[in-house]
Structures are given as structure tokens and as C-alpha cells.
A and B are shown apart, each in its own frame.
Chain A
Amino acid sequence: MAVRVQAETFDAGAELNAFSIGAQGAGAVVSFTGIVRDVAGGLRHMMIEHYPGMTEAAIAAIVKQAQTRWALTDALVIHRHGILPPGAPIMMVATAAPHRADAFAAADFLMDYLKSRAPFWKKEVSATGAAWVAAQDADEAALDRWR
């Protein structure tokens, strides 16, 4: 299991290859990569703030929950902070399990929890100003399916 919180970019393909090689014998590997999206047009960059110390602990706790619920042989979470241009990878989750159902479910669970339980805050900076991204009710509702 690996959790990385970093300012530097990462190569999702290279990460997935390395994870898959390390997960030999797992039978199923699922990965998700989140990318900075220019929703309204005119986005200069995304600024991601986080809570050093709590971030790593919160993600580790979420990964531990996933390991308790599904038969995972390995898991990887990478989440960036700092200034990210449109098109840049923000975060990545990979799970390995004997069977695909567990790998998919665990990746989905990790994404839902990372979105609203890991201390990151996104700010969108455009030519016209900057605004904090508001949490969506749907993000909180998404957690209900795992209860």
C-alpha cells in the first residue's frame, strides 16, 4: 500500500505499469486518474491547498477501511497539491485484488472518500478572478452508498 501527497506531477501510465508489475498474481487491477478540467472556460490553473500531516493520515485511514471491506492485495493513492494547469493529473487511485469486483468497488470507494474526507481544497484561478470550489451535496450523498 502506498500513499503519496506531492506537489510534483506524475506519469499515470508509468505509475500504473509499476503498480501492475508489483501486483503480480492479483488477477485484477483498476485505476482512476483525475485531471484538471476547464469547466467554465478561461481557467488559468487550479490551486490545491491541503493540511500537511492530516492529509496523509486521513488517506491512510481511508485506504485501511477499503482493505477491511475488500480483498485487496495492493492499493496506491497519489494526490497532488499546489498549482496545477488544465490537463494536469491531480490524483490517481489504483487497486489490485484477486477479482475485478473487489478492485472496482474499492477504487470507487476510495474516490468517494478522498473527495470529501481528505483535507484538500481546490481554488480555480481564471483571468477574471479566483474562486474556491464548493463541495457538492452529491459528494456527501455518494458516501451513503458505502454505509
Chain B
Amino acid sequence: MDVLYFAWVRERIGVPSERIETGAATVADLVAELSAREERYAAAFADTAALRVALDQTLATFDAPLAGVREVAFFPPMTGG
């Protein structure tokens, strides 16, 4: 699936997007898998309460299942307006 990062999450991980092959069942599982992979992910995902996630461009929660999802995006709380 495609994984996208925005704002400081993008800066901390170092890429705006990447394709990731994963068998993770939920967003939380994916976060755990990436965090175990490299320190930059662990740093970005250290406090998921400070993060938001969107699945196929719709806001979701970290316990949401990933089955059938094509695009996951991680970002800090939004600051529009």
C-alpha cells in the first residue's frame, strides 16, 4: 500500500510517501511494524496520540483495519483556516 506523511511527520521520516508491503491487520500494527524497522519511524510514531491517520483519504482511528485499504496517511493535527 502507499503510505503518505505530512508536515513534521514527513520531515522526521524523511520521505513524503513510499510503497510498503505489509501484512499488518490494523493501523496500530503498521505503526508497530514500521517503528521496529528503523529509528526514524520510531521517532515519528513515538506518541500516536499526537498523530492523525487517514485511510483512503478519510480520517480514521489507529485501531481501524487495513484490509482493502490502498492509501494510508499519517500527519499531525490539522492547522488550517
Checking B10, B57, B78 against A53 with a beta-carbon cut-off of 8 angstroms, the contacting residue is B57
Q: Contacts A49-B6, A57-B57 known; A121 to B81 CB distance under 8 Å?
A: no
Contact A118 B54 (CB under 8 A): no
Within 8 A of B (CB), among A17-47: 34
Contacts of A58 in B (CB 8 A): 57, 59
Contacts of B57 in A (CB 8 A): 51, 53-54, 57-58
B17 to chain A, nearest CB (A): 11
Contact B7 A118 (CB under 8 A): no
- The interface residues of chain A, by DSSP majority, are classed as mixed
Number of A-B contacts (CB under 8 A): 74
How many residues on the A side are at the interface (Cβ–Cβ under 8 A)? 28
Contact A51 B76 (CB under 8 A): no
Within 8 A of A (CB), among B20-71: 54, 57-59
Contact A120 B79 (CB under 8 A): yes
- A interface vs B, CB < 8 Å? 34, 49-51, 53-54, 57-58, 79, 90-91, 111, 114-123, 132-135, 139-140
